Amino acid sequence: MSDDVTPADNKLTASKRRWATEGKFLTGRISRPEADRLPPGQHLVKNWPVLDLGQQPRITTNVWKLDIRGLVEVPLTLDWQAFTTMRQVGAVSDIHCVTSWSRYDNSWNGVATRDLLDRVKPLPKAGHVLLTSYDGYTTNMPLADFATSDAILATGWDGAPLTLEHGGPMRLVVPHLYFWKSPKWLSRIEFIAGDIPGFWERNGYHMYGDPWREQRYSDD
């Protein structure tokens, strides 16, 4: 398991812990993507709000690397050149943030997670991934969700390189889950057998995070 560095507290993290305790933004409604593009309790925005844990690590592409470890046949450490010479793809998807905003039709470019999986070859007992960022943030998800067709290791957004404030030079985008499951400044992907909670999951948030089922907070 990866070393789990706890990011520094700030006003936002304190507020979000309180929201989990209070059940803020919950409506009790359940909708499905085929019936309603906007999940329950969400509102549309045109801008892209910036949320982080109080620090934005400045990782230049000449020192950036991505470690892929755990239950895989081929562990890898990719530098920027190796990563960007992998097959580049585009994707368009919506963002749904647990703080209740959604943004439609975001255009991404980068490396499909499925192409990365083809390189590292997860072992049969690998059931989940634990994701770690350069700021110490962690989150978790089932391997099946990491491997969906629209999941992308994004280096660009709307035709331009991904900016620092939004996770550049590279972040994960898994659009069918709340956006806290799509970590900025991704540095490590660890393939594991069982589910392990990340930063927000240990602080009152749901282990899975399906926006259409309003899985904002833990059931515990």
Per-residue model confidence (pLDDT) at position 197: 97
Q: Which residues of 186-201 are buried (b: 16+ CB within 10 A; e: fewer)?
A: bbbbbbbeebbbbbbb
Confidence of residue 173 (pLDDT cuts 50, 70, 90): very high
Residue with tokens 């979000």: 16
Q: Is 5 helix (H, G, I), strand (E, B) or coil?
A: coil
Q: How far apart are CA 39 and CA 212, in angstroms?
A: 5
- Rounded Cα distance between 216 and 20, Å, is 8
Output the pLDDT for position 29. 56
More confident residue, 55 or 143: 143
Q: Which residue has the higher pLDDT, 82 or 11?
A: 82
pLDDT in tens, 52-61: 777 889 999 9
pLDDT recorded at residue 167: 95
Share of the chain above pLDDT 90, in %: 79
Range of the domain at 196: 11-48+57-213
- Name the pLDDT band for 108 (thresholds 50, 70, 90): very high
We report the CATH number of the domain holding residue 111 as: 3.90.420.10
- Is 220 within the bounds of a domain? no
Work out the average pLDDT over 79-96. 98
Whether residue 1 lies inside any domain: the answer is no
> In this structure, is residue 66 part of a structural domain?
yes
Q: Is residue 113 part of a domain?
A: yes
Q: How confident is the model at residue 3 (pLDDT cuts 50, 70, 90)?
A: very low
Domain presence at residue 2 = no
**pLDDT computed for residue 4 by the predictor:** 40
What pLDDT, on a 0 to 100 scale, did the predictor assign at position 1?
39
Mean pLDDT (the chain) is 89
pLDDT one-digit tens code per residue, 6-34:
455 565 566 555 655 556 555 555 556 55
Residue with token string 């081929």: 74
β-bridge partners, 161? 156
* Residue 6 domain flag: no
Q: What pLDDT is recorded for position 127?
A: 98
Structural domain includes residue 170? yes
Residues 123, 193: Cα–Cα separation, whole Å: 9
Give the pLDDT score at 87.
98
* Terminal-to-terminal C-alpha distance of the chain: 24
**What's the angle, vertex CA 89, arms to CA 146 and CA 152, rounded to 5?**
20
pLDDT of residue 5: 44
Q: How many domains does the chain have?
A: 1
Mean pLDDT for 96-111 is 97
pTM of the predicted protein model? 0.85
**Looking at the predicted structure, is the pLDDT value of residue 174 above 70?**
yes
Judge whether 218 lies within some domain: no
Least confident of 11-20, 58-67, 153-162, 171-180: 11-20
Q: CA separation (Å) from 64 to 79, 101, 109?
A: 6, 30, 18
Mean pLDDT of 130-150: 97
Q: Cα(145)–Cα(126) distance, rounded to whole angstroms?
A: 13
Write out the DSSP string of 11-60: HHHHHHHHHHHHTTT-------TTT-SSPTT-EE-SS-----SS------
As given in the structure block, the two tokens for residue 33 are 């993507």
Burial pattern 106-117, b for ≥16 Cβ within 10 A else e, equals: bebbbbbbeebb
Label residue 10 left, alpha or beta by phi (over 0 means left) and psi (-120 to 50 means alpha). beta
CA dist 70 and 48 (Å) reads 34
